Chains A and B, each alone.
Chain A
Amino acid sequence: MSKPTDLVQGTLALLILKTVAHQPMHGWAIGHRIRQVSGDVLRINQGALYPALHRLEQQGWIRASWHASENNRRAKYYSLTRAGQKFLEKEEANWNRLTTAIGVVLKTV
């Protein structure tokens, strides 16, 4: 089991942004989806998820709106803003460069 503190700094934001990039999602679903997609490897600490969402919203990378959920209850859905999209692309590129570099080092040395 992996906690966000085990993740590289800033990865939680990256994961959230990537997750909501496809479609608006509420907090529970975001946590759920990350866990699901990662094959149960990444379990987001729920105590850290919501503050992170609020921070991203404050920074203007995601925006929130209230919609009916899949089981017809009022839920707060987060979606990516245009600025968030740009930020995500940039961060994704950074991430890929970083992991490639680490991979190369691990293979050759």
Chain B
Amino acid sequence: MRRLGTIWLWLRSLFRRRAAEADLDDELRFHLERTIEENIASGLVPEEARRQALLDLGGPEQVKESCREACGTYFLEAPLRDFRYALRVLRKSPGFASIAILTLALGIGANTALFGLLDALVLRDLPVWQPSRLVEVETFDPRERETGPLSLAMYEGIARGQRVFSNFSGTLSDAYLNVQANGWLGPGDVSLVSGEFYSMMGVRPALGRLIGPSDVNLMGGVAARIAVLGYSFWQRRYGGSPSAIGKIVKVAGVPFTIVGVAPKGFTGTSVEMQPEVTIPLSAAPVVGVVKSLNTRHFLWITAFGRLKPGVSLAQSRTDLQAIWPAVRQASLPSGESTAGREHFFSFRILVRSVAHGTESMLRSKYGKPLEILMVIAGLILLLACANLAGLMLARWAARDHEMAVKLALGAGGASIARQMLAEGILVAGAGACAGIALAWAAGQSLVALITEGYTMPVVITGRPDARALGFAIALAIFTGVLVGIAAAWHATRQDPMQALHSGPRTIGATGRLGKLLVALQLALAMVLLSCAGMLIRSLVDLETVKTGYQAKHVLIAQLAPRPGKHATVNGDVYWPTLLRRIAQLPGVVSASASDYTPGAGGAWKPAVSPARKGSKVSFLAPDVGLSPRFFRTLGMHIVVGRDFSWSDTKNSPRVAIVSQSLANRLFPNGDAIGRHIRIVPSLRNQPLEIVGVVSDARLFNARSADLLAVYTPLTQGRSFDPYATIEVRTAGSPLGLGQPVRRAAGPEGHEYVLSFQTLDEVRSHAALSQRLTAMLSGFFGGLGLLLAAIGLFGLISYDTKRRTREIGIRMALGADAASVRGMILRQAGLLTALGLGVGLIGALAATHLIAAMLFGVGPDNVSTLLSTSAVFLGVVLLAAYLPAHRAMRVDPNVALRHE
């Protein structure tokens, strides 16, 4: 009964607020009237009676507020009111609101996108049962200072001797082998596992069964020919059909029967890729990843264990170290030299937690840079908070008087602080919403960028998941509170009496700290901007540099060997046939093959020297095997001599073509043709006759001005290369010829086309890291500048608002608009000059640090520094000019009458 009554009261005061308010009014009015009557009765004049009554009550508004608080709906009502008020304030100043939301969106967006990636790559646990109990067992070679896998003998020895793991499993993961599934042929991410693997990981099949102990017989060496498919591979290749069970999937040409599908989202022991096909570890020799299971010279088994309950990582280390000497002794490879034995006996055993998964390609490449970027993005967000607080203060400063009135009326510092907090949280909330949308787009395009050219599907999407969203929300609350508190702290520090009496103050009261902070931001922005300018300039130069070949209209096709077919290929017949067939396709201008993908970077670089006795000249130069017509296809030209021909075979004299630069270096007299050179190391150490000199081209490293190169016939020298590249010059759009080229490559039966790209795409992929750094530095540079400009804008606005009265007096005394503007701009100019000066010094230091990443521009390239300075000054001065311009339009009448 009582409970019901109080709930009714509560609801009534919440929803029928007007009625409750009226009641409260009536009640207090009645009280006052009674008190006044009584006071009059005791002999006071009516005026005095009323004053005394009000004094006794102690301020009707405060009493009402206390009564409302006593009603218990206050905790809901007050924030609602504050937010409604904040919304109204923000709607009235769309300029401020949009700038605030934009900066926070960029700040929160960058942080969320980076966190999402960092989380997916580095921070997150493996998606399996109790990941923290999983460990990896590795050997450590103290001489090379690197970790490695185990041999089968070591693995078996540890499996027998250990007492700390409830499961112990050997694997070989990420073997890229030819996979044939449901009519599809391509390279697949194949894993080999021992029988304990799936029970150790604690996973259940999505379909069928998984590989178990009875399927893997390492000692007998007989492998069950069964396979488990990865969930997404099953979706892609079998359309998720249950009828895949019992079908045959071929790995490296060897048939395996599909028995099951791994659960969705299972990524094995790394976080990055889903094993596509998993087969028993004992099938390793059958698919050719090791020659024999029992080889002791080759360490190939990556071993994992699940710690028994109650066993710590340290205990497992101690246990394995205790049994290790005996295991090592029993695993010694036969026929080792004394030095080799000594080296082998120096191997140690390591145990490492793999709760977050094993080191993966993307993690080792981008983990550290991501952490650094995360710190930068975090700092930028902090600066954004400081600036927003400054902006908010500037706006509140204009209402100093109103604020003082509120304080004097008894609003209480807390309620003003609450309103600022509400404003901060509102802005941050809107910023976070926009930021999450931004992170959604940015994360995905970042992942697309860093995995560009990957033939294997990567699990990481870059879309912010629940964790990243949670992070964004936490960030938003944090920034909102930070901004609000910074502003509130400043706002409530003033004394209402003083503010009321003096009106808007005449003394520029912005703290030294605030000015220093803005100057620092300006300097930082200048540094970031200069680096970004240099990097972007480098990228542009790199993309427009004269390459010496014509990249337009060239299709690049990567070939891969068909399982078991390429071993018997006769290149002297295969290549001419294949290239002739492609050259006959309509739309093809010319076609060639090489053992290096032009423009991709990373070519083999042996030493090249003249083949005469006593020659001391020797140059490191890329050595590439080519078919005839390669130069024609790429649009290079033979300066002197001839191209290769199909009659340059293993049975004819060995020949070579050198680049113009190499010819000039080796034979400065210009008589290279007919001379002999030697390439060290090479398969047969024979001298090669130079038959041609070809124009220089940046085929190997677009950044390097070093254009030395030696070319040899694909049909001479090396054994048949199964991973060759085909270049096709086309009349029209290159990618349209993809399918015809794929079909033309088929009938030979030796190779298939793995992937197509245009030469432009290959080049741009080679410049990936440049593009990434230019893009990110451009983003952070722009953001830094925007923030610094906002900081300055806030500072100057705040100052001019506070000096309105002073400006009024000056103008009343005859100062004209220009001199007022000059006065305001002087301060901005001083800060800007300070920021620019310090920033330029910092920029010179920073650009020297990144000199290695630059191309075409020196670290103190004047024109880039000048143009970034110009951009900097333009934006910054605009930020300062806007408030100065507003100050100029102060009407002295209004400013002075304010009191």
Contact = CB atoms under 8 A, between A and B. Distances in A.
B23 A54 contact: no
The residue among A45, A51, A55, A63 with the most chain B CB atoms within 10 A of its own CB is: A51
Interface residues of A, number: 25
A45 B58 contact: yes
Given A28-B31, A76-B23, A50 B66 contact: yes
Contacts of A82: 1-2
A9 to B, nearest CB: 16
B646 interface: no
Contact of A57 (B9, B57, B62, B69): B9
A47 B59 contact: yes
Contact of B26 (A55, A57, A76): A76
Interface string A78-89: 000111000000
A62 to B, nearest CB: 11
Contacts of B9: 57-58
A54 B68 CA distance: 8
Nearest to B53: A46
Contact of B58 (A47, A55, A74, A75): A47
Given A51-B70, A58-B72, A69 B58 contact: no
A59 B67 CA distance: 13
A60 B30 CA distance: 23
Given A54-B71, A73-B30, A60 B66 contact: no
28 contacts: A26-B31, A27-B27, A28-B35, A46-B31, A46-B35, A46-B57, A46-B58, A47-B58, A47-B59, A47-B62, A50-B28, A50-B63, A50-B66, A51-B70, A52-B70, A54-B71, A55-B70, A58-B6, A58-B10, A58-B70, A58-B71, A60-B6, A73-B30, A74-B26, A74-B30, A75-B27, A75-B30, A81-B2
B34 interface: yes
B3 interface: yes
A73 B66 CA distance: 25
A74 to B, nearest CB: 6
A60 B70 contact: no
Interface of A: 26-28, 45-48, 50-52, 54-55, 57-60, 63, 69, 73-76, 81-83
A60 B59 CA distance: 27
A48 B71 CA distance: 14
Interface of B: 1-3, 5-6, 9-10, 23, 26-28, 30-31, 33-35, 56-59, 62-63, 66-67, 69-72
Given A51-B70, A58-B6, A63-B5, A27 B31 contact: yes
A73 B26 CA distance: 10
Nearest to B13: A58
A59 B2 CA distance: 9
B57 A47 contact: yes
Given A28-B35, A57-B9, A76 B27 contact: yes
B12 to A, nearest CB: 11
Contacts of B5: 60, 63, 81
Contacts of B30: 26-28, 69, 73-76
Nearest to B27: A76
A43 B71 CA distance: 24
- The 6 A-B residue pairs with the shortest CB-CB distance in the complex, in nearest-first order: A47-B58, A51-B66, A54-B70, A60-B2, A55-B70, A28-B34
Nearest to A76: B27
Nearest to A51: B66
Given A47-B66, A51-B70, A74-B26, 10 more contacts: A47-B58, A50-B27, A50-B67, A51-B63, A51-B67, A54-B70, A58-B72, A59-B6, A74-B30, A83-B2
Contacts of A81: 2, 5
A63 B35 CA distance: 23
Nearest to A84: B2
A75 to B, nearest CB: 5
Contacts of A57: 9
A54 B72 CA distance: 10
A26 B27 CA distance: 9
In this complex, the member of B30, B34, B66, B71 whose beta carbon has the largest number of chain A beta carbons within 10 angstroms is: B34
A55 B63 CA distance: 13
